[in-house]
C-alpha cells in the first residue's frame, strides 16, 4: 500500500477514523474529545461549559481562558500578554514607544517638540509655560476645558452643555426639552399621540383594535381575556394547564424551577449550578479563600429554630440573604525565648504573640453572630487546642501554637477548617461558592 492509499483510507465508509472521529473531530455520538457537541453543549454537564468551567472554545463564563485572557487577548485588569491595554498603554501609562497619552516620555520630553512643553505650551503635569498654571492665557487647560469644565464649544467632557443637553439636544437620560427620546417616547413610555410601543394608551385601549386587547389578544399588561399571559401564567403566577406555580416543564412564571434554576442552570440569585461549592475545590486553596453564601431562607429559618445558639440573634440577621467570608492563614516562627500561655477568663485560651504557630482569620462582609458561632465551632472541632481572640463584629482571630511551623501545614489548616464550614453551610443553610482570589 502506497502513502497515498494510506491517507486515502484514513476514514472508513461512514467517515470515521480509527479513533472513531470524523474530519471535524466528532464521534458517532456527536461529541469531540473535550465532550462538546457541534452546538457547544457538554456531554457531562449538559451545559455550554465543561466540568472545568470552560466552553468549547476554552473560555469560562466570565469570558477568560485558562491563562486569564479573554477573546480579545486582555486579562481582567485590561492588559494583554505584553502588558498593554486596549489603547496600547502599560500599567505605568506608557506605550511601546515610551510615550504616555499626552505624548510625554518618562523624562517629560514631548515626542513632537522634543522639549518639556507640547505644541500648546503645557508640560507633562499640565502646567502652561506662560501662565505657570493649569490654564493658558485664554483660560483653558491642557485638555481644552475651562475652570467650570466646559470647552470652547460650551460642552463638558461628557458632551453636555450648561443646560444639560448634548449637541443633538438630548439630556443624560436621553430626553429632549419637550421630554421625548429619539424614538419619540416620554419617560412614561408614551409618544405625542399618547400611545406606547405596544399601541396602548394610558387608559389601556389599543390604537389598532380600539379595545382593551391588542391584535394578539393581550391587554396592556400582557394578559388575555382569561387572565393569562403568552406563557400561560396569570398575575398570581399560576399556570393555566397545571394549576400550579410551575408549568409542564417545571418552571415558574420567571423561568425558574423549584430549586431556583433556569433552563441553563443559572440560579435566580445570580450564579450557575456548576459554580457551586465542590469539596475538590478546597484542594486548590493556598493561604486565602473567599466563601460566598447565598442563603436558602427556608433552610435558614429551620436551622435557626432548631439551634440552641441563636439567643440574641436579630431579625435583620435572620433575613440576611447573602454574605461573604474571607478566610486566611499565616504562620509565625515567633520568639523561641518566650513561650507563655495566657488565660482569657472566658471560653478560650490564648497563646502569647511571641509564640510560634499559625494565625487564622475569618472576616465577614455582614455581621452575623450565628455564622460566627458556626465558624468558631468548626474551627475548634478541627483543632481543639486552637485559641480564639475576642472577635470584633465582623472578624474572628485565632491562634494555633506549634513549636515548628511551615507553609504547607498552614495551608492544610485552612483547607480543613474551610471544608467543614462549607459542608455545614451548604447542607443546612443554602448555596456556597468558593473563590481562591477575590
Residue by residue, DSSP assigns 207-246 as TTTSSSS-TTS--TTS--TTS--TTSB-TTS-BTTTSSSS
Whether the predicted pLDDT of 438 surpasses 70: no
* pLDDT tens column, 377-429: 999 999 999 887 766 789 999 999 888 888 899 999 999 999 999 999 999 99
Dig out the grid coordinates for 330 from the structure: 499565616
The band of 283, judged by pLDDT with boundaries at 50, 70 and 90, is confident
CA distance 416 to 405: 17
Q: Which pLDDT belongs to residue 33?
A: 92
pLDDT band at 313 (very low <50, low <70, confident <90, very high): confident
Return the half-sphere exposure (C-beta side, CA atoms, 13 A cut-off) of residue 72: 11
What confidence tens digit (pLDDT) does each residue in 209-233 have?
999 999 999 999 999 999 999 999 9
b or e along 114-131 (b: 16 or more beta carbons within 10 Å of the residue's beta carbon)?
eeebbeeebbbeebbeee
**341/178 Cα distance (integer angstroms):** 76
- Mention every residue, 6+ apart, whose C-beta is less than 8 A from residue 305: none
Asked if pLDDT for residue 85 goes beyond 90, the answer is: yes
* Whether pLDDT at 2 is above 70: no
User: Taking a C-beta distance cutoff of 8 angstroms, is the pair 136, 118 a contact?
Assistant: no
Question: pLDDT tens for residues 106-155?
Answer: 999 999 999 999 999 999 999 999 999 999 999 999 999 999 999 999 99
Here the cell at position 347 is: 471560653
pLDDT over 70 at 279, yes or no? yes
Residues facing residue 267 across a β-bridge:
261
Start-to-end C-alpha separation, the chain:
60
293 in helix, strand or coil?
strand
pTM for this entry: 0.53
Q: Is the pLDDT of residue 337 over 60?
A: no
pLDDT attached to residue 4: 35
**pLDDT over 70 percentage in the chain:** 91
**For residue 235, what are the contacts with CB-CB under 8 A and spacing of at least 6?**
221, 223, 227
Give the per-residue pLDDT at 3.
37
In angstroms, the Cα distances linking 383 to 309, 321, 374, 386 are: 21, 30, 14, 5
SS3 assignment for 145-157: CCCCCCCCCCCCC
| pLDDT tens by residue, 367-389 | 999 999 999 999 999 999 988 77
How far apart, in whole angstroms, are the C-alpha atoms of residue 53 and residue 59? Answer: 8
- CA–CA dist 6, 115 (Å, integer): 69
156-205 pLDDT tens trace: 999 999 999 999 999 999 999 999 999 999 999 999 999 999 999 999 99
**φ, ψ dihedrals at 262, nearest 5°:** -90, -170
**Would you say 166 and 160 are in contact if contact means Cβ atoms under 8 Å apart?**
yes
What mean pLDDT is reported for the chain?
Answer: 90
Q: How many angstroms separate the Cα of 108 from the Cα of each of 83, 103, 116, 127, 142?
A: 22, 9, 6, 12, 15
Is the pLDDT at 51 greater than 90? The verdict is no
**Predicted pLDDT of residue 272:** 87
Query: Strand 387-389's sheet: what is its strand order?
Result: 387-389, 395-401, 357-364, 322-332, 288-295, 430-435
Cβ(398)–Cβ(385) below 8 Å: no
**145-167 tens-digit pLDDT:** 999 999 999 999 999 999 999 99
> Residue 345: what pLDDT?
40
Amino acid at each position: 500500500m502506497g502513502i497515498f492509499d494510506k491517507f486515502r483510507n484514513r476514514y472508513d465508509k461512514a467517515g470515521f477514523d480509527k479513533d472513531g472521529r470524523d474530519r471535524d473531530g466528532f464521534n458517532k455520538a456527536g461529541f469531540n474529545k473535550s465532550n462538546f457537541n457541534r452546538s457547544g453543549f457538554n456531554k457531562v454537564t449538559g451545559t455550554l461549559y465543561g466540568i472545568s468551567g470552560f466552553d468549547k472554545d476554552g473560555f469560562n463564563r466570565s469570558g477568560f481562558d485558562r491563562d486569564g485572557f479573554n477573546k480579545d487577548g486582555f486579562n481582567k485588569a485590561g492588559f494583554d500578554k505584553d502588558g498593554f491595554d486596549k489603547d496600547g498603554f502599560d500599567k505605568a501609562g506608557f506605550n511601546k514607544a515610551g510615550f504616555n497619552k499626552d505624548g510625554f516620555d518618562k523624562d517629560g520630553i514631548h515626542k513632537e517638540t522634543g522639549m518639556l512643553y507640547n505644541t500648546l505650551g503645557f508640560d507633562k503635569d499640565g502646567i502652561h509655560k506662560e501662565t505657570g498654571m493649569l490654564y493658558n492665557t485664554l483660560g483653558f487647560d491642557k485638555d481644552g476645558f475651562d475652570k467650570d469644565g466646559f470647552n470652547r464649544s460650551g460642552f463638558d467632557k461628557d458632551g453636555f452643555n450648561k443646560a444639560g443637553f448634548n449637541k443633538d439636544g438630548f439630556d443624560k437620560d436621553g430626553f429632549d426639552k419637550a421630554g421625548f427620546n429619539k424614538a419619540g417616547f416620554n419617560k412614561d413610555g408614551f409618544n405625542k399621540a399618547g400611545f406606547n410601543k405596544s399601541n396602548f394608551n394610558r387608559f389601556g385601549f389599543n390604537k389598532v383594535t380600539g379595545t382593551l386587547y391588542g391584535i394578539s389578544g393581550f391587554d396592556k399588561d400582557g394578559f388575555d381575556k382569561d387572565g393569562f399571559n403568552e406563557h400561560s401564567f396569570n398575575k398570581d403566577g399560576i399556570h393555566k394547564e397545571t394549576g400550579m406555580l410551575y408549568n409542564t416543564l417545571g418552571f415558574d412564571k420567571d423561568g425558574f424551577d423549584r430549586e431556583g434554576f433556569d433552563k441553563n442552570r443559572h440560579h435566580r440569585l445570580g450564579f450557575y449550578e456548576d459554580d457551586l461549592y465542590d469539596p475538590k475545590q478546597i484542594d486548590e486553596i493556598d493561604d486565602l479563600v473567599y466563601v460566598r453564601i447565598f442563603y436558602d431562607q427556608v433552610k435558614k429559618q429551620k436551622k435557626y429554630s432548631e439551634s440552641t445558639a441563636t439567643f440574641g440573634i436579630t431579625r435583620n440577621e435572620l433575613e440576611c440573604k447573602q454574605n461573604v467570608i474571607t478566610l486566611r492563614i499565616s504562620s509565625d516562627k515567633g520568639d523561641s525565648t518566650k513561650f507563655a500561655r495566657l488565660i482569657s477568663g472566658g471560653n478560650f485560651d490564648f497563646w502569647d504573640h511571641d509564640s510560634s504557630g499559625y494565625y487564622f482569620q475569618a472576616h465577614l462582609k455582614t455581621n452575623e453572630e450565628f455564622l460566627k458561632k458556626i465558624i468558631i465551632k468548626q474551627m475548634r472541632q478541627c483543632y481543639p487546642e486552637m485559641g480564639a481572640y475576642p472577635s470584633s463584629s465582623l472578624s474572628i482571630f485565632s491562634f494555633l501554637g506549634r513549636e515548628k511551623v511551615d507553609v504547607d501545614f498552614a495551608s492544610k489548616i485552612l483547607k480543613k477548617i474551610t471544608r467543614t464550614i462549607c459542608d455545614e453551610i451548604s447542607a443546612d443553610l443554602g448555596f456556597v461558592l468558593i473563590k481562591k482570589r477575590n
